[in-house]
Amino acid sequence: MEDRCPQCAELLQWDGGYVCHSCEQHYHKQVYCPSCHRPLEKLQACGSVSYFCNTCNELKSKSAVNTVFTASDHEA
């Protein structure tokens, strides 16, 4: 899955955080459970990333989760 700007759909760049150069806006990435829409806990093992939902009490595959980029005004 590609990481795209929620405003202009350009690919986001990485400069220590997600950034869209067209919008001159930084973003935070938040991942939500596709079933209960709660924020997911990120698990990293052996170089692969998966997500765990504490509400559903099950592992969610990276391709199934909902990814939301929220604008950040606090980026250094």
Q: Residues in the site for Zn ion, rule: CB under 5 A?
A: 5, 7-8, 10, 20, 22-23, 33, 35-36, 53, 55-56
What CA–CA distance (Å, rounded) separates 33 from 55?
A: 9
> Shortest gap between Cβ of 46 and Zn ion (angstroms)?
24
> Shortest gap between Cβ of 51 and Zn ion (angstroms)?
10
| 66-72 and 25-32 strand pairing | antiparallel
Of 48 and 55, nearer to Zn ion (C-beta) is: 55
> Shortest gap between Cβ of 40 and Zn ion (angstroms)?
7
Helix, strand, coil shares, percent, the chain, to 5: 0, 50, 50
